[in-house]
Structure 1
Amino acid sequence: MRRLSRRAAAATAVLITSALSLTGCGAPGEAGGSDSASGKVEGQVTFQTWNLKTHFKKYFDGVIADFEKKYPDAQVKWVDQPAEGYPEKLSADAAGGTLPDVVNVSPDLAYPLAKAGLALNLEKAAGKYRGEYLEAAWQSHGMPGLQGVYAFPWYLNTGPMFYNKDLFRKAGLDPDKPPTTYDQLFRDAVAMAQKSGRKIAMLASTPSIEDFGRYGVRLMNAQGTAFTFNEPRGVDLLQHYKELYAAGALDSQALTAQAESAGRKFEQQSVAMNPGSALDLGNFKKDAPSLYKNIGITDAVNNTGKANMYVQGLMVNAQSKVKPAAVTFAHFVTDRQNQMAFAKQVTIFPSTKGSLDDPYFTEEDGTDATRVRVASAKSLKTAVNYTPVLLSDQMKTVLRNAVAKAVQGKQSPKAALDDAVAECTRLLKTG
């Protein structure tokens, strides 16, 4: 399945413009009437997912059949869109007034719809269900500058970190105590570089916006009108990465490396830590058995005590003509039973309270899949979505370029982040 946060900045900007231009669209909750979803569960609900039909048709057919049996006056028409062009499809639907009743969205795609008044405020319409979900998952579809929550939380994911216990041992580090905070990571990384004569780096990538969040940096102001990752703590993080790079503790290709090349470095055992999945473990077992026998699994380091959460949701169209049925169906798909059943078909995690305590997520059976599943489920109980919903691909590039300049010493960390914040905020205001 796709990574759970997919960004298409240009299309999302078009969506905002198109949606706001619709006749009758205004503040959240105003479009199509009130936020009320009370009434009889009846009529045809159009349900749109995002690249799921090919592999999960049987599952969704079953969920729909169960819903229609429970609510015989309601019917569900399922439409699945390909991953390619999905934001553009939402934009066209918003502009044409043909947005489905229930729509699969990530928080970044929900934002322009909520801002345009096309996403139903579920705090008002379905607040009674809030206690069924992990609090951070429920809040993940809250939007900067808007009151409320604009999608039911659906499935979650997170990224555990792999580390090489043998490289830790050789560097004089405890292989059973990988770094859990950034201060410990920085100390261990320098020690490893020194001990190996700069041949082994701890990391193979520079910090992304998620790292700034995990470091404890405030990324945006409360109103969602300006970025703030250039605050002193953000400068401090970037200064540390500059020092890691100079010490050989950050791989020399980190400034240009993609995730795939970082993975190869880890497999070649020239890098000691790297994010991964159960699929990677299987590849290590086959292609790098000496690495596989020394693999450790831990959470990505953080200073907040909370891992990063990737989340998908189900948004209800505020203009839906079958609002009671749409809200009831979106809740039905995301309830504990149906989320649990989905999680047993694919490597995702439920957003419902108590689900992650199920033995399926707490007990290992010796397989690679369960090793990663148990580690990920544990961290998701308290995870949060660090990536601001307003951060576009273009803004991510701005930040990545600023980080590269600072790490190489071409610009001071403060100046680099000041410039990045100014440019990202400009892009935010110009749409």
Structure 2
Amino acid sequence: MRISRRAVAAAAVLATVLPLSACGGGSGDSSSDASGKVEGKITFQTWNLQANFKDYFNGVIADFEKKYPGTDVKWVDRPAEGYADKISADAAGGTLPDVVNVSPDLVAPLAKAGLALDLDKAAAKYRKEYLPGAWQSHQIPGMEGTYAFPWYLNTGPLFYNKSLFKDAGLDPEKPPTTYDELFDEGLSLATKSKGKVATLANVPTIEDFGRYGGQLMNKEGTGFAFNDAKGVELLTRYKELYDAKALDPQALTATPESSGHKFLTGSVAMNPGSALDLENFKKQAPSLYKNIGITDQISSTGKANMYVMGVMVNAQTKQKPAAVAFAHYVTDATRQMDFAKQVAIFPSTAGSLDDPYFTEEDGTDVTRVRIAAAKSLKTAVNYTPVLFSDQMKTELRNQVAKALQGKQSPKEALDNAVKACDRLLQQS
């Protein structure tokens, strides 16, 4: 299983393929009443998990069926490639499984189509078991309700090069934590190195606008709003970094791999990453590894960004009590903790991140990163709007590039980006 920051960006596919009139589950009950005896046969669909976690899920299913005699859970697993298309086809054809592994961008069009069960009505008693930010991640702008149980979370710390900070006269033990600190220290780094060392290697994304404290969408969920005063301010400061070479000149076309290489070679002072990167530094750049600092993501809101997977219940299922019970069971604290110890993910259940597994150092690199990430997840939120598609990301990136290059003002760039994204939103 490859768990990435956004495992598959598929909202655009679903939005264009899935008609809002689609229905699933045949003659199932679309009400939110999940009371009644937990019994019957249900189908549980996951997303590229069977190859590595067959024993784990078979064990979860066996334990559930033992707890609820009379239930029968059929597990199906779909490959990552084409997952959104498969869900779209099932939704349109009335064959959507009873319980489905989704990400927020996948659940949005299903909720709009009336195919995702509103858990605020059907399973409100379970809400307190999950981190508030995780529960809210499957809420859809402009709609009331929550449309999937939060499942596993992911995030990443920010690595920084202590040696470069020290050379610039900055405190290597006190890295920037807010964007204002980042911009000020970034300019200092560029000035001290005469433009040879950049602080960052990436242009701002929608997550940055969220972490900066700007408004991303209007309250109705009908349009984007990242061209507000905070958004313009953020892009203006990035333009200052770019002009001073505190933002790497190649940031406009950077990839995660190229940014990582810049950090590895000491031409960039800060870069997001994971435990795998830390092991890579140890092997390929021992001098960098000795000077690695680990800190939280930059945020002016005090909250990091999280990436979240969820488990949705088909609103048309014929076995609603069993489907809700199983979706909760596979995402409860016990099951999530067991899963987190098998793969580098984090539970979304309240209190789980206080487990010694996420708090106690053992001297290994993997644990260092796990503890740093777990700490930030307690209050993290999913800043990327569930309606923000890959096409919209491209529009924002293109307009940001024009602003950084001086081809238009930050205000003009964001106004144009919002117009383009709103147009795409209306087409979906």
Q: In which range does the TM-score fall when normalised by the shorter chain?
A: over 0.9
**Contact 1:155–1:349 at 8 Å: present in 2 too?**
yes
How far off is 1:24 after superposition? 11
Aligned residue type for 2:245: G
Q: Distance in 2 between matches of 1:326 and 1:281?
A: 40
Aligned-partner Cα distance in 2 for 1:64–1:354:
24
For 1:378-397, what aligned pairs fall within 5 Å after superposition?
A: 378-397=375-394
Cα distance, 1:368 vs structure 2: 0.8
Name 1:200's counterpart in structure 2.
197
Match of 1:415 in 2: 412
Distance 1:31 1:231, change over 3 A: farther
- Mapping of residues 45-64 of structure 1, within 5 Å: 45-64=42-61
Q: Does the CA contact (< 8 Å) of 1:120 and 1:150 recur in 2? A: yes
Question: What is aligned with 1:173?
Answer: 170
Displacement after TM superposition at 1:139 (Å): 1.0
SS at match of 1:20: coil
Within-5 A mapping of 1:18-167 = 19-22=20-23, 32-167=29-164
Amino acid at match of 2:381: V
Question: Structure 2 length as normaliser, TM-score?
Answer: 0.98
The 3 A distance-change label for structure 1 pair 429 and 302 is same
Question: Cα gap change, 1:205/1:4 in structure 2, threshold over 3 Å: closer, same or farther?
Answer: closer
Give the Cα–Cα distance (whole angstroms) in 2 for the partners of residues 236 and 59 of structure 1.
48
Partners of 2:81 and 2:131 lie apart in 1 by 30
Which residue of 1 is the match for residue 14 of structure 2? 12
1:374 aligns with 2:375: no
Identical aligned pairs, as a percentage?
Answer: 70
The offset of 1:8, in angstroms, is 2.0
Q: 1:382 aligns to what SS in structure 2? A: coil
CA distance in 1, matches of 2:208, 2:28: 37
CA spacing shift, 1:346–1:114, aligned 2, 3 Å = same
Q: What's the CA shift string for 1:155-208, capped at 9, x where partnerless?
A: 001121000000000010000000000110001000000101110000001000
Change (3 A) 1:369 1:90: same
Aligned length: 426
- Name the SS for the 2:406 alignment partner: coil
Residue 325 of structure 2 corresponds to 328
**CA RMSD, 1 decimal:** 1.4
1:184 aligns with 2:181: yes
Matched-pair contact (CA < 8 Å) for 2:25–2:314: no
Alignment check: 8 A CA contact 1:4 1:156 kept: no
Letter in 1 for 2:3: R
Partner of 1:252: 249
2:30/2:317 contact within 8 Å kept: no
**C-alpha displacement at 1:300, in angstroms?**
1.1
8 Å contact from structure 1 (residues 42, 325) kept in 2: yes
Question: Counterpart of 2:252 in 1: which secondary structure?
Answer: coil
* Deviations 1:265-308, CA, capped at 9 Å, x for gaps: 00001100000000000011001000001001011111100000
Amino acid in the other structure paired with 1:226: G
Q: Who is 2:311 aligned against?
A: 314
For residues 33 and 9 of structure 1, what CA distance do their matches in structure 2 show? 23
For the residue of structure 1 that corresponds to 2:101, the secondary structure is strand
Deviation at residue 3 of structure 1 after TM alignment: 1.3
How far 1:59 sits from its partner (Å)?
0.6
Task: Give the secondary structure class of the aligned counterpart of 1:89.
Answer: helix
Q: Does 1:283 align with 2:280?
A: yes
Contact map agreement 2:24 2:96 (CA 8 A) in 1 = no
Q: Which amino acid aligns with 1:62?
A: G
Q: Answer yes or no: is the 8 Å Cα contact 2:24–2:95 preserved in 1.
A: no
Structure 2 residue identity aligned to 1:186: F
Do the aligned partners of 1:15 and 1:112 also contact (CA within 8 Å) in 2? Answer: no
TM-score by length of 1: 0.97
Unaligned runs of 5+ in 1: none
* 3-state secondary structure, aligned to 1:177: coil
Q: Secondary structure at the match of 1:68?
A: helix
